[in-house]
């Protein structure tokens, strides 16, 4: 379960930032998780509930935004969203594309703190 280590690293970053800002608590942590990141959002939520105990983020809300896969076709120079089966074929020219613009990210996108 690599979600636990991802959440531990994310919480460490958030707490370090909050301490630099002299925050009393962390109210919300927002993440962007790509569909191809290999991360299971529900496992992140479980890990978050476990590791925030007895920290300044104990009562924080975890907000997760799922980022869909978006590809770029070099043949017709257009962006497209592949179907759920992840066949990276351009719907316009039908060339196979492996140039993924988004969908692999794991990003701490925002942090809400209370001073």
* Annotated binding-site residue? 73: yes
In a domain, 78, yes or no: no
| Residue-range definition of the domain harbouring residue 109 | 2-68+102-114
In a domain, 96, yes or no: no
In a domain, 89, yes or no: no
* Annotated binding-site residue? 94: no
Digit-coded pLDDT (tens) for 18-75: 999 999 999 999 999 999 999 999 999 999 999 999 999 999 999 999 999 999 988 8
Contacts of 19 (CB under 8 A, 6+ apart): none
Q: Quick one: tokens of 36?
A: 């191809």
* Annotated binding-site residue? 70: no
* Annotated binding-site residue? 98: no
Q: Quick one: tokens of 63?
A: 């907000």
In a domain, 106, yes or no: yes
What is residue 41's predicted lDDT score, i.e. its pLDDT?
93
Q: What is the CATH number of the domain that holds 36?
A: 3.30.2320.50
Number of domains in the chain: 1
* Annotated binding-site residue? 2: yes
In a domain, 22, yes or no: yes
In a domain, 93, yes or no: no
């Amino acid at each position: 379960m690599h979600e636990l280590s991802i959440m531990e690293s994310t919480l460490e970053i958030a707490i370090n930032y909050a301490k630099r800002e002299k925050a009393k608590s962390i109210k919300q942590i927002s993440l962007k998780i790509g569909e191809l990141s290999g991360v299971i959002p529900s496992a992140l939520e479980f890990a978050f509930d476990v590791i925030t105990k007895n920290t300044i983020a104990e009562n924080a809300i975890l907000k997760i935004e799922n980022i869909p896969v978006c590809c770029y076709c070099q043949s017709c120079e257009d962006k497209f969203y592949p179907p759920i089966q992840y066949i990276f074929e351009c719907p316009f020219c039908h060339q196979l594309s492996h140039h993924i613009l988004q969908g692999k990210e794991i990003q701490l996108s925002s942090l809400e703190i209370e001073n």
